[in-house]
């Protein structure tokens, strides 16, 4: 059964709060300087969070700045239990060539996955059928296989990996404290909210200790 058939059988598209079906993509691994595969089943069985970082194309302009920014936060994301994977509709061979040519990518150590058919990009709703490229989409899947976060930008707006780290920190905290909720700009150690009838209309007082 192809990836497309699996997706159509389980889900028509990725939705927040839903379980993501298994998928496999070929990839270039900069750490090993060789080709490999990204297998979602293996990531899930390892109990890791998965960050899928879709971008339009290799050898373009905003894309290397995004991948370099993500590389700067890669170690922090790994400490949070994340497997980080960049994805475009280029081939694994193009990934290898781009990684070797573009100096902005010199610190990239995460796997660079290839989705030349656009099947995975299409499932996550970032595939542009007019261009054959993926929009700038970031998706976070928790260790249970549930999609918990998504962000999609058009071609001309780059993302901020620092905010991605903050969102992962919040999601990791909430997985262990499901009865709580993280307010805007929350970072570890700051006050959370515990929704209840007593909190209705009293969020200011709760956050300010009144």
Cα 143 to Cα 28, 65, 111: the distances in Å are: 23, 28, 18
Burial class of residue 55 (count of CB atoms within 10 Å of its CB; 0-12, 13-18, 19+): buried
The DSSP element (H or E) to which 44 belongs, if any, is helix 40-45
Nearest to 177 by CA among 161, 166, 188: 188
Q: What is the DSSP letter of 21?
A: P
Active-site choice (3, 63, 82, 182): 63
For the question of residue 63 being annotated catalytic, the response is yes
DSSP string, 112-181: EEE-TT-HHHHHTT-EETTTTEE-EEEEEE-TTSBEEEEEEE-TT----HHHHHHHHHHHHHHHH-TT-B
Residues catalogued as catalytic: 63
């Amino acid at each position: 059964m192809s990836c497309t058939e699996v997706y159509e059988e389980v889900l028509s598209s990725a939705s927040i709060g839903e379980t993501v079906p298994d998928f496999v993509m070929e990839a270039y691994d900069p750490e090993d300087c060789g080709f490999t595969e990204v297998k979602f089943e293996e990531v899930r069985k390892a109990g890791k969070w998965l960050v899928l970082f879709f971008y339009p194309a290799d050898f373009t302009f905003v894309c290397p700045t995004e991948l370099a920014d993500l590389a700067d936060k890669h170690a922090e994301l790994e400490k949070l239990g994340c497997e980080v994977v960049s994805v475009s509709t280029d081939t694994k061979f193009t990934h290898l060539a781009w990684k070797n040519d573009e100096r902005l990518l010199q610190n990239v150590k995460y796997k660079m996955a290839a989705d030349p058919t656009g099947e995975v990009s299409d499932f996550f709703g970032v595939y542009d059928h007019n261009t054959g490229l993926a929009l700038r989409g970031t998706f976070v899947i928790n260790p249970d296989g549930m999609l918990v976060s998504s962000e999609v930008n058009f071609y001309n707006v780059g993302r901020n990996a620092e905010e991605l780290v903050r969102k992962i920190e919040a999601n990791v905290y909430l997985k262990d404290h499901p009865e709580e909720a993280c307010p805007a700009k929350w970072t570890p150690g700051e006050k959370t909210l515990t929704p209840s009838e007593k909190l209705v209309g009293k969020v200011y007082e709760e956050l300010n200790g009144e």
